[in-house]
Chain A
Amino acid sequence: MDTPKVFESEYRFCLILWEHEPIKSSELVKLCKEQLGWKPTTTYTVIKRLSERGVVQNDHTVVTSLVSKDQVQAAEIQEMVDKTFEGSLPAFIAAFTKHQKISDAELDAVQEMIDRYRKGGTP
């Protein structure tokens, strides 16, 4: 059977589930709040999404996993990047850097600057 995809944040959720299952969803919500910093609504949403994907099951508020830790680790943990969000950050969000189309030439030039600096030269 094909192991369903699990994203990194969902993986962290599963770690908690594997440790405490079977567990009442309300308990799970509390644990997720403590360890992950998730709002209750977020936890419920994730439970729903994962059960749709066949990763977990929610039987009358008792949550259990359907795949094991080994199985998930074997499949690659994907990184999902939503294409529509790339680069176009809302203007008033403070960001480390705007994701930009940096050309290879530019890349090399800056890398050289850094390397030179490390060796003790001027940037």
Chain B
Amino acid sequence: MSELFLAVLNRSISAGWIVLAVLVLRLLLHKAPAWSRVALWALVAVRLVCPFSVESVLSLLPSGETISTRILTEQVPSVNTGVPLLDGVLNPILGESLAPHAGDSVNPLQVLVPVLAVLWLAGGAALLAYGVVRYAGLARKVSTAVRLRDSIYQTERVNFPFVQGFLKPKIYVPFSVDPQEAEYVIAHEQAHVRRGDHLWKLVGFLLLAVYWFHPLLWAAYGLFCRDLEFACDQRVVKDLAPSQRADYSQALLNCSGGRHKLGAVPLAFGEVGVRQRVKTILSYKKPRVWIIAGAAVVLAAAAVCLLTDPLGKDISDLDDQLQVFLGMQVAEHNRSQSREVDFSAISYDVMDIQESGGETTLYAWIYYVEYNRQDGQLEKVSASHVPTVITARKEGSQYQLVEYWTPGDGRRFQEDIQEKFPRRLWARAMDGQRSVEKQKAECEAMAEEWLQEEMKNSQWDVIPMVMVDGLYYYSTGREAAPGDGAPEGEITSTVDGTQIPQEDDQSNFGEGFPYRYGEEGTLQVQMNGKWMVFEHREGTGSQVRFGDRWIDSYGLSEETLEWLAWYNSLPEEEQLAVSYIPPQVYERLGLGGDGTEDADAPAAGD
């Protein structure tokens, strides 16, 4: 019940914005036929009736949901009107007056909202009851009305002409109206019936009973009724000669309490100004085509801008720092502990983002996938697709995790989701099929892109190497026997993996690694508990790729370098099929007639 009330409240707030817009637009349509203004009010009705709405970038509404359904459980209640100025005024007030104090057993809103919901029901029921009673009373009164012709009746029991009945509407005219005037009155009422006004007014009244608490909607209903009368007048007058228009106006004047003034009566709800109507009737001209066209354009634009909601939330709505923080949280919660992973990707299907009380909560289906790189391809290692709720709070300049929630398994899945998610998101939160393909594709694309970059970059990554005592030592990939040798030094600085170390005790793969000298010309560097052999070679340190190996590039001839550039541009299969390798390259690989072949040399068609 509280949720329903909050939904109604939200919808009425949206409708309120539309009413304001319509009030402005009515001025634009002042010269246009009255039915165009009635159509504007129809827009308001559509917004109030339709349970769903389409999102569009053209929406002029400030917010799709001003009052979050989480407001009942929040530490500091707040609203999101979509208008920063309003939020800035409202939220501090709400925070002060409605935030639970320490020692309270319950959030004041949890008491207040249900009470308001009950009041809302009561108000609506009262208004409906009033309508029913009045309607029944009127029906009883005119039960003795005498038929004039067709569905037109005359009665002495009321002194105003009107239409009653919804399925088979009947027109009632007082006996006191003289026959000539009666014809105009009847024509007007018949126009009402033809336009279906008796039904539209009923719809309006029902809507008013639901949304009775919003003052703008009462104004809207009043103006709607007014515009209906004008539209009816225009419809009747369209076919009347000028002298007939004067007669029609006279009838209107007489019926408004002129000649038939039977005592002063209070202004009825939504009264229609006689003067304005007569003025409109007497000055009515058939509207020109361009005015009608203009009105149509205004209506269409209004429909698009006012009936659509602002775009739904996306992960990019959050600030960069938060996005990074969330990514880290996701990775941490989903990472497979057992092994190293080359690349992981995350895709968010955002269901909602709620911000309140300094905390941001993300409701999303999170697709997390891990890849390992094998032979230049990415192999999917593991993947998960889970509806997740993450709450983060900004403290100072950092974000802190408040909660990382995922549902339980089996039967608990549905129960947990229904407990955690707002009702309007339940369906979406339980339906994984909806977005999984899209998210999978998104991640795959990210992985591909990463791989391409890696392939490209690894052309520029040089072989791991260190400089010690002015000499270059290159990684061989071989592990040394542990031995007893104590470390003799430590790598104290590092450069980027694409660069050559320039200083002593510097590497291009990291720092903090102890080293010791090994057998002739080798250095052993302790990494991950193992002593890895690094080999000294002359040269400037610059290297060039050869397939997936590195060779020193000093002293290589232009032709060799060109050949290498060509070779490196080939895909792997073609590289393996190449039969000729320049002698200089052979040398560097350590391949030669003496059989000291390097175990990792690519098979080169030998």
Task: Please report the C-alpha to C-alpha distance between residue A114 and residue B274 in the assembled complex, in whole angstroms.
Answer: 12
Contact indicator per residue, chain A 28-55, by CB within 8 Å of chain B (1) or not (0): 0000000111110110011000000000
Task: Please report the C-alpha to C-alpha distance between residue A82 and residue B174 in the assembled complex, in whole angstroms.
Answer: 13
Question: Within the complex, which residue of A12, A35, A78, A92 is in contact with B205, where a contact is CB–CB below 8 Å?
Answer: A92
Per the 8 Å Cβ criterion, residues 1-16 of A in contact with B are 7-10, 12
The 10 A-B residue pairs whose C-beta atoms are closest, nearest first, are A37-B147, A123-B282, A92-B205, A90-B134, A98-B268, A87-B265, A95-B162, A96-B161, A86-B265, A8-B156
Say whether A81 contacts B274, CB under 8 Å: no
Task: Please report the C-alpha to C-alpha distance between residue A102 and residue B265 in the assembled complex, in whole angstroms.
Answer: 9
Contact indicator per residue, chain A 86-100, by CB within 8 Å of chain B (1) or not (0): 111111111111111
- Count A-side interface residues using an 8 Å CB cutoff: 49
Residue A107 at the chain B interface, CB threshold 8 Å = yes
Question: Within the complex, which residue of A10, A46, A95, A114 is in contact with B160, where a contact is CB–CB below 8 Å?
Answer: A95
Residue A117 at the chain B interface, CB threshold 8 Å = yes
Say whether B144 contacts A96, CB under 8 Å: no
Question: Within the complex, which residue of A9, A79, A89, A96 is in contact with B185, where a contact is CB–CB below 8 Å?
Answer: A96
Residue A111 at the chain B interface, CB threshold 8 Å = yes
- The residues of A with any CB-CB pair to B shorter than 8 Å are 7-10, 12, 35-39, 41-42, 45-46, 78-83, 85-102, 106-107, 109-111, 113-114, 117-118, 122-123
Say whether A96 contacts B283, CB under 8 Å: no
Binds A, one of B252-260, B329-337, B539-547: B252-260
Say whether A91 contacts B205, CB under 8 Å: yes
Task: Please report the C-alpha to C-alpha distance between residue A45 and residue B137 in the assembled complex, in whole angstroms.
Answer: 16
Question: In the assembled complex, which residues on chain A have CB atoms less than 8 Å from the CB atom of B145?
Answer: 9, 37
Say whether A107 contacts B162, CB under 8 Å: no
- Count B-side interface residues using an 8 Å CB cutoff: 72
Say whether A114 contacts B250, CB under 8 Å: yes
Residue B159 at the chain A interface, CB threshold 8 Å = yes
Residue B440 at the chain A interface, CB threshold 8 Å = no
Q: Would you list 20 pairs from A and B whose C-beta atoms are within 8 A, ordered by A residue?
A: A8-B156, A9-B146, A37-B147, A37-B153, A79-B175, A85-B158, A86-B159, A91-B221, A92-B198, A93-B198, A93-B201, A94-B228, A97-B160, A98-B268, A98-B271, A99-B265, A100-B267, A101-B265, A102-B256, A114-B278
Say whether A46 contacts B144, CB under 8 Å: yes
Task: Please report the C-alpha to C-alpha distance between residue A35 and residue B270 in the assembled complex, in whole angstroms.
Answer: 36
Given A9-B144, A88-B134, 17 more A-B residue pairs with CB atoms under 8 Å apart are: A9-B146, A82-B158, A92-B131, A92-B202, A93-B135, A93-B201, A94-B163, A95-B160, A97-B255, A98-B268, A99-B159, A100-B257, A100-B265, A101-B265, A102-B261, A114-B250, A114-B253
Q: Is the interface of B mostly helix, strand, loop or mixed?
A: helix
Question: In the assembled complex, which residues on chain A have CB atoms less than 8 Å from the CB atom of B157?
Answer: 9, 80-82
Task: Please report the C-alpha to C-alpha distance between residue A91 and residue B35 in the assembled complex, in whole angstroms.
Answer: 20
Question: Within the complex, which residue of B201, B266, B277, B278 is in contact with A94, where a contact is CB–CB below 8 Å?
Answer: B201
Task: Please report the C-alpha to C-alpha distance between residue A99 and residue B246 in the assembled complex, in whole angstroms.
Answer: 20
Say whether B275 contacts A109, CB under 8 Å: yes
Say whether B189 contacts A42, CB under 8 Å: no
